[in-house]
Amino acid sequence: FRCVMEKDLERCEIRRARPDELDQVAAFRALYGQQLGIGAMGTFWKVDPEGILVAVTDDGKVLGTLAVLRISDSISYVTMHAVYPELRKKGLGKRLWQAAEAHLGPDRNAFLMCGGFDVSMYHNRFGFDVVSPVTIHYIRPGPADISTLRTEVRGVDIVDSATPTLTSKVIDYDQVVSGFRRERLLDLILKEPGNVFKVAVHGHSVVGYGIVSTDISGMALLRIVYADDVGIAECLVHSLLNGFAPFVEKGLTGLLLAEAGDATGLDIKMSIEGIPCVKILYRREHPTCDYKRQFVVCV
If residue 47 lies in a helix (H) or strand (E), which one and from where to where? helix 40-47
Q: Give the CATH number of domain 2-107.
A: 3.40.630.30
Q: 299, 233, 222: which is closest to 260 by C-alpha?
A: 233
Q: What is the mean pLDDT of residues 141-150?
A: 94
Domains 2-107 and 137-296 fall in the same CATH topology: yes
Backbone dihedral angles phi then psi of residue 276, each to the nearest 5 degrees = -80, 85
Domain 137-296: homologous superfamily in CATH: Gcn5-related N-acetyltransferase (GNAT) (3.40.630.30)
| % pLDDT > 90, the chain | 62
Backbone dihedral angles phi then psi of residue 45, each to the nearest 5 degrees = -65, -40
CB-based contacts of 198, cutoff 8 Å, min separation 6? 158, 159, 160, 209, 210, 211, 236, 239, 240
Look up the pTM and report it. 0.92
Q: 196-202 and 205-214 as β-strands: parallel, antiparallel, unpaired?
A: antiparallel
Give residue limits of the domains in the chain: 2-107, 137-296
pLDDT in tens, 208-243: 999 999 999 999 999 999 999 999 999 999 999 999
pLDDT in tens, 150-173: 999 999 999 987 788 899 999 999
